[in-house]
Amino acid sequence: MALAAVALSSCGSPASPARSGSPLRPPVIAESFTHLACNQGSTVGLEGCAEARLLTTDRHVNREVRLLFNVINTKSQKRKFVTAENVWLLSRTADCQSESSVYQGGTLAPVEYGLCEVGEDQARSVMLHSYFGLLEQGTTPKPAWP
């Protein structure tokens, strides 16, 4: 199980990191774990439930990031946004590794890690929506928030 915590803790990563010279793309989250079945009756099953919730919140954040990226007007501002998203993802990983370390060596560590990432995604979504509100001012037609 400790191995599962380590595996899950290194999952979220930007699918398209910003590199100089490469085209600028929205930095979407790509998880690399093998999804477990959700089952409230076992710890491994609880991990699967956390993974399912994480994949759902990741998809939601990815839709928002793509929309924002497309609404941003300047290349400079897009670069800053990409950097901010990549830094946020690193912070999400570090926060959740720290939080789940309370259960280090135990079977609840990967469950806690996954649920932490879900919470981080939900908080990021609120922040992205706020940013969207700033960007859409004066935009016609106004894009729909996902």
Out of 3-7, 29-33, 106-110, which region has the weakest mean confidence (pLDDT)?
A: 3-7
pLDDT of 17 over the 50 cut = no
The whole-number pLDDT of residue 73 equals 87
**Terminus-to-terminus CA distance in the chain, angstroms?**
36
**Measured distance CA(18)–CA(71) in Å, rounded:** 18
Q: Which tokens belong to 127?
A: 């922040």
| CATH fold for the domain made of 2-17+27-126 | Substrate Binding Domain Of Dnak; Chain:A; Domain 2 (1.20.1270)
Give the whole-number percent of the chain exceeding pLDDT 70. Answer: 84
Return the SS3 of 24: coil
The whole-number pLDDT of residue 5 equals 43
Nearest 5°: phi and psi at 104?
-50, 130
Region of 59 (left: φ > 0; alpha: ψ -120 to 50; beta: rest) is alpha
Integer CA distances (angstroms), 40 to 3, 45, 66, 111, in order: 21, 6, 33, 11
Is the omega angle on the peptide bond into residue 141 within 30 degrees of 0, that is, cis? yes
pTM: 0.83
Nearest to 12 by CA among 129, 146, 118: 118
Confidence of residue 144 (pLDDT cuts 50, 70, 90): confident
Domain boundaries, the chain: 2-17+27-126
What does the pLDDT look like over 84-110, one tens digit per residue?
A: 999 999 999 999 999 999 999 999 999
Out of 3-7, 62-66, 98-102, 122-126, which region has the weakest mean confidence (pLDDT)?
A: 3-7
Is the Cβ–Cβ distance between 83 and 75 less than 8 Å?
no
